[in-house]
Amino acid sequence: MPVTFHSRLLCATALLAVPATALAQETRAEETIYVTAARTPLASEDATASISVLDTTMIEARSGVFIADILRAIPGLAVSRSGTAGALTQIRARGSEANHVLVLIDGIEAASPFTGEADFAHYAFDYLASIEVARGEQSALWGADAIGGVISLRSALPEQGREAALRLEAGSFGTTRLSARLGKALERGYLAAGVGVFETDGIDVSGLGGERDGYSNRSANLQAGHELGDGLRVEAALRWVGYDTASDSDTDYDGRLDNTGDSRRGDQVLARAALSLDHEVGELALAHEFAMQFTDDVSRSFDGASRTALSQGQRSQTHYQLTGRWSAGAIEHRLTGLVEYEQDETSNDAGPGSLANQRQNLSSAAFAFDYGLGRGPLDLTASARHESNQRFEDALTWRAGLAWSFDSLDGRLRLSGGEGVKNPGVFELFGYFPAYFIGNPDLKPERSRGWELGWEQVFAGGRGHASAVWFRSELTDEIYTDFGVFPATARNASSQSDRSGLEFEAGWDVTDRFAVFGSATLMDSEQDGAAEIRRPERLASLTLDWHPDASWSASMTFDHTGEQLDTDFGTFQDVTLDAYTLVGGQLRWQAREGVELYLRGQNLLDEDYQDVFGYHTPGRALYLGLRLRHG
């Protein structure tokens, strides 16, 4: 059998894949610091879970506007975009559901209070310091939404003096992009603010040759911190995202999109304030954190000029966290305790007298601990969380892991496992469209148990890093939509969903001017012996970054998604979506210090592909941009 391009790409990315420590990193892997691994800063050499970090260099090399496209570099993550920019964009980790992944933006839980799912359609952020992804059951540390993993986005903070940045871009599909940032590192703190605007005429997502479905995105963010003295700090973060997106819908209910005048407008506000204190009591180092966060999510749906629905959800969360670190001879100990309270309030308005109108309130309280032990080459971790919910039985989740470093081989063996839980969302419990979908207040939370075995390898004197992970998870009480009754409703599945696979990631700074990294995933996700929809069995990503001199640089990306099943809602039969490979690139020229021109391309091979059946996607696109930087 001849070797296809896709097969060669998959093999190449398994050998030359993305480092957990990110592209062109000057420090060794053991100096990388994680946050998702223990809710507190933790050296990567002490972590026992699968975690990948993309730094600013990696993010820039990926050259994507939307975070979802940058995340294609991470093993185990599958992207499902319903057509064009601004359309519903979901991330599935290791075959889990999209609402099984907890998303944090500057430490703030970003999921919709209605669905418990973060829509990556509107995450077009510049000036990020890092993207950190922890895969596997993480509920013991992060709560009910982290059944499949955690994705954490961190904004860049000013490091010294004044900093300023401006980006202007324009190109295909009538697209324009503007972002600006100002920051200042203060004697005892920092202050940074940014704004962004992205607009595009889009494409006709139905593919019928009608009007284009455009999209507009505006955002603003603010970060501030101040050292009050003696280890006492106060920090705050605020982000607003507003959007307008046009779409097509199925007006005659034949399972195919029609050209319509539908649109949706939304606003999301994320806010967080934290007070922290670091001090020592004898040989015991203590870190306290008291934090409050707030999410406000508003969505308005329109048919032409007429509003058809208004949904507003608010989430407030408060927690106190205490971490102690101490040594006993050759043994290093770490213990974190957490107390947390969360409340969600939602309202839905579909017009006077509509049966969809409702107000709901959900709350939960939890306490948790995380313990870590290190002695020479051995690392042990253990976490547990008890969560009380006003509607469901109390839930106990856990996670445990161990790792052993083989210094003579520059390698490390990891084994970990855990159990996670996901509570039903408001719409699943109470419905949202009484004529066609009703809720099920008797739903039980979903529960997942999984484990993983991994090997990490450093090579080329620390210039290269590779890892391989074998994972398996079992999901019970999975919530699904039963279309066999009318109106349709949500139910718990009686059968078990099994997910398993292999993940590879590695990277190599071949020279000081050239680096290569990528990832590959082989995965099975089945229920009752049948493959689950929108879970490709093969994923691969390869990125090349080249800096031939001080003025010129370039990068190329290759992102492969294998065949996957989806549902044709006209016949309610499964269909197979073809495999595809998206090729992107960027050429940059620094005209002088602080002034850069670049040419960026997406889908350069003009692939005709679909992530979701019936939703057409953009073809080849080119963009010309200017970036100005000071400080």
Angle at 410 between CA 404 and CA 416, to 5 degrees: 30
Q: What is the mean predicted confidence (pLDDT) over 278-297? A: 97
pLDDT tens-digit series, residues 141-160: 999 889 999 999 999 999 88
Residue 406 neighbours by CB distance under 10 Å: 12
Q: Distance between CA 553 and CA 555 in Å, rounded?
A: 7
Beta bridge pairs of residue 211: none
Greater confidence (303 vs 522) lies with 522
Residue 355 neighbours by CB distance under 10 Å: 11
For residue 12, pLDDT over 70 is answered with no
Residue 256 structure tokens: 């195919």
pLDDT tens-digit series, residues 17-32: 333 333 333 333 346 8
For residue 9, pLDDT over 80 is answered with no
Greater confidence (150 vs 260) lies with 150
pLDDT at 358: 85
- Going through 350-496 in order, the beta strands assigned E by DSSP cover 358-375, 378-389, 395-406, 411-422, 437-438, 446-459, 464-476, 479-482, 488-492
For residue 240, pLDDT over 80 is answered with yes
pLDDT tens-digit series, residues 336-386: 999 999 999 999 887 776 777 889 999 999 999 999 999 999 999 999 999
Q: Distance between CA 499 and CA 487 in Å, rounded?
A: 30
Contact 385, 366 (CB under 8 A): yes
Contact 399, 141 (CB under 8 A): yes
For residue 2, pLDDT over 50 is answered with no
Task: Tell me how far the alpha carbon of residue 597 is from its chain's centroid.
Answer: 29
Q: Which domains does the chain have, with CATH numbers?
A: 5-630 (2.40.170.20)
For residue 589, pLDDT over 80 is answered with yes
Identify which of 77-86, 115-124, 474-483, 552-561 has the greatest average pLDDT.
552-561
What is the phi/psi pair of residue 8, to 5°?
Answer: -65, -40
What is the percentage of the chain residues whose pLDDT exceeds 70? Answer: 94
Q: Distance between CA 499 and CA 495 in Å, rounded?
A: 13
Q: What is the mean pLDDT of the chain?
A: 91
Q: What is the mean predicted confidence (pLDDT) over 264-285? A: 96
pLDDT at 67: 96
For residue 106, pLDDT over 80 is answered with yes
pLDDT tens-digit series, residues 109-122: 999 988 889 999 99
Hey, what's the torsion of the CAs at 624, 120, 205, 259, to 10 degrees? -130
pTM as predicted = 0.93
Q: Which residues of 274-289 are buried (b: 16+ CB within 10 A; e: fewer)?
A: bebeeeeeeeeeebeb
For residue 11, pLDDT over 50 is answered with no
19-23, 298-302, 464-468: which range is least confident on average?
19-23
Confidence of residue 631 (pLDDT cuts 50, 70, 90): confident
Confidence of residue 253 (pLDDT cuts 50, 70, 90): low
